[in-house]
Amino acid sequence: DDCGTLFSGCDTSKDCCEGYVCHLWCKYK
């Protein structure tokens, strides 16, 4: 999953947070 626009919404979308890149982004957010 590319989280829609890669990072946009990663902080609110739980599915995106589960992703490899978004998960790291969520962690540092």
Please name the helix (run of DSSP H) or strand (run of DSSP E) that holds residue 14, with its range, or none: helix 14-18
Contacts of 26 (CB under 8 A, 6+ apart): 10, 11, 16, 17
Q: CA separation (Å) from 8 to 19, 21?
A: 13, 12
pLDDT tens for each residue of 1-29: 455 555 555 655 666 666 666 667 666 65
pLDDT at 28: 62
The DSSP bridge partners found for residue 8 are 5
Question: What is the pLDDT, as a whole number, of residue 3?
Answer: 56
User: Global pTM?
Assistant: 0.26
What pLDDT score does 20 carry? 66
**Distance between CA atoms of residues 27 and 16, nearest Å:** 12
